[in-house]
Chains A and B, each alone.
Chain A
């Protein structure tokens, strides 16, 4: 043993030192690692990590110290007071907790760092010196104050460094582990340095054996066990931290993934939302459009100047447009069902309702003219129409209909009908074949035929029996041309009057006759006027003829009286001369000569007048007598129709030609025809017929003109061809005389033949050589 004053020499087991340093490094690493975990966690987990970390770290630090102390071998046996050891462990844990707490905070300012490092340094110092105090060895421990102070400063300094490093490394980044390893190494060495400085501050002097109560001896096995246990704890702490970190990282990754997916999903949802919103907006627009279109339709339906309605197949009404409602002044409720019937005119109600029922029952379109009462009570005519809308199976789905105001048309119709009915004419329309389908009121009133009796061919009964030849009428209508016909119609009182019937066809585009329209106008007065006109004409003709005769007579008188005057005067002169004794025989002879000359002259005048009447000198040529007749009968046609004489000709077709003057022969024929017409005009005998015949005769041809007049009495017949003989009031008696001369000049003969009726004149003409 060494002297009491001499310090006990200590020696270090360097392998143990190395081990303590390793433990310090490990503990530092664990501390750094745990700092990250504590700062990453929060709440209770943070407290757990803080507690766990502090325990592990404190144990590590303590183990390192204790190991370092164990590495110090004194020549004496050393035991350790275990309650103190336990206290040192707690101090280490406390210091670790402080360190972890400080570094794991979000911020670490100078104050926190300083305070933390002081606490931590104090802890470490406390731990160290508590461990030292736990030593039970036969000796006294003397401390070098400088080294102790140095150790305290180092402890605080190292704590500060450790805290700063831990704070700087708590974020888990890519290069964390290598840097942590580096930092842990630095820190471990620093801690070891402080420890060994503290160890160096202590010197042991042998003394009495210590109180060994509560003291334990640490064997080498215990020593190793402490190291191994500490390392296990640290490893466990680091592993836990690593696992937790990885878990945390996984959670974070998962979180991130989740967040990414949430973000993605959110985006998708956003997009979906967007399109949904758009769709909603579009749908809204579409709905708006539909609504507008409906509004428009409703507006159109309500505004068009038509009354529109519809209803179910049973014939009731469940809709009607505003026009109808406003017209009737009734609401839809009032019009619904059968309610519409209330606005019908009472006189129309049964007819309309029955017709509608029938349409509803049979499904046939409904069309009626009916009176609807307006809100103000006035009734107007409407054309009501309804049609059934059928489904694909042909069943009636709904009835749709409209009412059109036809009041104005009706009024116009009524006016027109009034016009037609009051026209001063009998108006009618007939079907293409001529059967009547309308007779105006005047027609019905005039004839006394009710409509039903006049329709069809009944209208014919209104005509005079003579004008009822149905065939004739049918032919006229069948001809398809506008025509006029004069006919007598019976008035309701039985009196017949002359009417002019005019008919005009109405045709379609193809020219087919759809209908005949016509009027029947009373022409009785005109007819009478015509007759009096005819009479006036005759009178005028008479006057004219008389006048012409007067002129002729004057001419004849002048022409004849001149020579006669000269003759008479000369003759008187001669007589005077003879009475007074002939003083101048020459003068007398001249006078007598002049008398003779004037006599000849007078005769010449007569001849000239006769020649004048005979229309010039005849020119003969080969003549077809039928041609002459046909030419002639076209001439007096007007006269014939005026006198209502029907002319018929019977001309032989195989007549030889005659040599004659056509103009003279025409003159003869006209003379005969006019005589016949005049003879008939003054007779009441009917019908008035004129027949002209031509035929072959024994030596040539003969022509006969026969009338249906009163004939010529035998007395007159004897003188009929004498000049100046006439049976007519204004006749000059030259016609037949001249005609006779003409025929005689043609080598023929004009004669009056006895006839059963009327007068029959005949002239003959020899064939070829008729020259007299």
Chain B
């Protein structure tokens, strides 16, 4: 997916509105894809393709808010910009809490929509970068030996080698070797970086910490 060209999915039951938005979006060099309803979008093969979603609240069939929940449940976290002809505060709150980027009332200013879309694209970019890093780290983690994998949490928890050696029953020298190996394999320049990486990978500190 190109990071230069964002893809925007527009879902609105009014074709006139859809076309106008497409025109506007494309005028700033983004790609737009149009859908008349949520169901129409769900029928698309790669539903994850969009970088940003412009979603009307009042839709035939499933409403915009319902669709938002549906996507979250399916693990699709595409940023959403809501547009509505008649919104109220509770609706807005619900939408924003569920992670919406923006909530615009029709008719909206063109710049507002474009800003919201831009924001969404950035959010999407960050999300995708993070996802990429996590998957890279997971690959690296997979390259560790079982012993290094075992030592990793101890290292992350900040204990000196001697204590780690005591805790898992190995020599201090061995631990030292393991430490340098796993830092190299994971590409962590410092312990602080290693801790950050571990958090991202969801590695927790050892549960059984026994101070000597």
**Interface residues on chain B, size class:** 10 to 19
Closest to B111 in A: A572
What are the residues of chain B within 8 A of A557 when measuring CB–CB? Answer: 85-86
Closest to A551 in B: B86
What are the residues of chain A within 8 A of B23 when measuring CB–CB? Answer: 569-570, 573, 587, 591
What are the residues of chain B within 8 A of A587 when measuring CB–CB? Answer: 23
Closest to A601 in B: B16
Is the beta-carbon distance between B16 and A594 smaller than 8 angstroms?
yes
Inter-chain residue pair count (beta carbon < 8 A): 70
Known: A567-B107, A568-B107. A562 touches B20 (CB 8 A): no
Does A434 interact with chain B (Cβ within 8 Å)? no
Which of B16, B20, B86, B109 contacts A573 (CB under 8 A)?
Answer: B20
**Interface residues on chain A, size class:** 20 to 34
What are the residues of chain B within 8 A of A565 when measuring CB–CB? Answer: 14, 17, 20, 83, 85, 106-108
Is the beta-carbon distance between A554 and B20 smaller than 8 angstroms?
no
Is the beta-carbon distance between A594 and B106 smaller than 8 angstroms?
no
Complex Cα spacing A563 to B15, Å:
10
Q: Which residues, 1 to 43 on B, are CB-close (under 8 Å) to A?
A: 14, 16-17, 19-21, 23-24, 27
Given A562-B14, A573-B20, 17 new contacts (CB under 8 A): A561-B107, A563-B16, A565-B17, A565-B83, A565-B107, A566-B20, A567-B107, A569-B107, A569-B108, A569-B113, A572-B24, A572-B109, A576-B27, A577-B27, A591-B20, A591-B23, A598-B16
Does B58 interact with chain A (Cβ within 8 Å)? yes
Complex Cα spacing A561 to B13, Å:
13
State the Cβ distance, B58 to closest chain A Cβ, in Å. 6
Is the beta-carbon distance between B19 and A594 smaller than 8 angstroms?
yes
Is the beta-carbon distance between A554 and B86 smaller than 8 angstroms?
yes
Does B46 interact with chain A (Cβ within 8 Å)? no
Q: Which residues, 600 to 647 on A, are CB-close (under 8 Å) to B?
A: 601
Chain B contacts to A: CB under 8 angstroms: 14, 16-17, 19-21, 23-24, 27, 58, 83, 85-86, 106-110, 113
State the Cβ distance, A611 to closest chain B Cβ, in Å. 21
Does A253 interact with chain B (Cβ within 8 Å)? no
Closest to A577 in B: B27
Complex Cα spacing A573 to B22, Å:
10
Complex Cα spacing A598 to B17, Å:
9
What are the residues of chain B within 8 A of A580 when measuring CB–CB? Answer: 27
CB 8 Å contact bits of A537-570 with B (1 = contact, 0 = none):
0000000000000000110011001111111111
What are the residues of chain A within 8 A of B20 when measuring CB–CB? Answer: 565-566, 569-570, 573, 591, 594
Does A757 interact with chain B (Cβ within 8 Å)? no
Q: Is the interface of A mostly helix, strand, loop or mixed?
A: helix
Complex Cα spacing A566 to B15, Å:
9
Is the beta-carbon distance between B85 and A558 smaller than 8 angstroms?
yes
Q: Which 5 A-B pairs have the closest CB atoms?
A: A572-B110, A569-B20, A561-B85, A566-B16, A565-B106
Closest to B110 in A: A572
Closest to A583 in B: B27
Does A303 interact with chain B (Cβ within 8 Å)? no
Is the beta-carbon distance between A564 and B27 smaller than 8 angstroms?
no
What are the residues of chain B within 8 A of A591 when measuring CB–CB? Answer: 20, 23
Is the beta-carbon distance between B110 and A558 smaller than 8 angstroms?
no
State the Cβ distance, A450 to closest chain B Cβ, in Å. 66
Complex Cα spacing A561 to B110, Å:
15
What are the residues of chain A within 8 A of B14 when measuring CB–CB? Answer: 562, 565-566
What are the residues of chain A within 8 A of B110 when measuring CB–CB? Answer: 568-569, 572-573, 576
Does A597 interact with chain B (Cβ within 8 Å)? yes
What are the residues of chain B within 8 A of A562 when measuring CB–CB? Answer: 14, 16-17, 85, 106
